[in-house]
A = this chain, B = another copy of it.
Amino acid sequence: MAENLTTTITSESKTVEIHRSNPTVIIGERINPTGRENLLAELKEGKFDIVRSDAQKQVEAGAAILDVNAGVPGADEEPILKEMVEILMEVTDVPLCIDTADNPALETALSTYKGKALINSVNGEEARLESVLPLVKEYEASVIGLCMDDDGIPQTPQDRFQVAAKIIERADKLGIPPQNIVIDPLALTMGSDHNAGRIAIETIELVVEEFGVNVTMGCSNISFGMPDREHIDSTFIAMAILAGMTCPITNPLHEEVNLAVQAADLVMGRDEYGMNWIKSYRARQKEE
């Protein structure tokens, strides 16, 4: 069993320490135009009102880090992402997770950002390793490593683990320590493979056992196409936390998921005297 590592992500004024004995860190996923027509329309017009309000709402709901994605089809990501990063640094003080597959956009965003960012993402593909890892090193950032490579997404936990191991090793060769790598085992849809949840969970267990690194995951894809999705999502997230996931990428405005994270932290003994649970209960009572 490897020692649990601390991944430190910072903004100008805030430090988030991701570690398996701390409460789970929620990375808010909302600031992403994929599948969100109103946000997409705004970004095309050069407006950022939804970005601002999404940032504030997610932080209020418990996001400790905000993912920022500027993927507007057909548009040049670089200036949009840069402006989004600047705006987010104005309206909130939480650290950012810079989410782009466009390397010039990533570099500009990293040079604009004041703090140690989390980068979303690298994977085991040669081209990505070669383009992203040097930026991780240069900006002393951390990076999410997806368990897929030039051959696609492996079917078994063991093969996904091998991709994670490759990313960690390649980073190490460039002088990037393993605490700056956050592994994403990839949660596919159980609607197309009923073993998708088990494979993700077992990948987490293997990676944590061997490397002690922090683990993220998008947790809502898993239930796509199934009824009563919120129960599946909240159950999956709690089980993933027990397996070792420390910083899920989710929508903290979904109360079911938020409650599952808080309840899982409570069960894991990370909520001293249950104070967070009781505080959040009281906040919900006031809203009603």
Inter-chain contacts of A168 with B (CB < 8 A)? none
A135 to B229, CA, bound (A): 46
Within 8 A of B (CB), among A191-205: 191, 194-195, 197-199, 201
A194 touches B238 (CB 8 A): no
Nearest B residue (CB) for A263: B235
Residues on B with beta carbons closer than 8 Å to the beta carbon of A201: 242, 267-268
**Chain B residues within 8 Å of A234, by CB:** 234-235, 263
Q: Does A228 contact B (CB under 8 A)?
A: yes
Cα distance A139–B142 when bound, in Å?
60
Q: How far is the CB of A256 from chain B (nearest CB, A)?
A: 9
Query: Do the beta carbons of A267 and B226 come within 8 Å of each other?
Result: no
In whole angstroms, how far apart are the Cα atoms of A274 and B267 in the complex?
A: 27
- A residues 271-288 in Cβ contact with B at 8 Å: 271-274, 277-278, 281, 284
Residue in B239, B273, B278 whose CB lies within 8 Å of A264: B239
In the complex where A269-B194, A269-B198 touch, is A277 in contact with B235 (Cβ < 8 A)?
Answer: no
Q: Would B235 and A194 count as touching, CB distance under 8 A?
A: no
A271 to B232, CA, bound (A): 13
Assess whether A259 is interfacial by the CB under 8 Å rule: yes
Q: Does A236 contact B (CB under 8 A)?
A: yes
- From B227, B243, B271, B273, A281 is in contact (CB under 8 Å) with B227
Contact A235 B281 (CB under 8 A): no
Question: In the complex the two chains form, what is the Cα distance from A248 to B89 in whole Å?
Answer: 48
Q: List residues 213-248 of chain A with CB under 8 A from any CB of chain B.
A: 222, 226-228, 231-232, 234-236, 238-239, 241-243
10 contacts between A and B (CB under 8 A): A194-B266, A197-B267, A227-B277, A227-B281, A231-B260, A234-B234, A235-B235, A235-B263, A239-B242, A239-B267
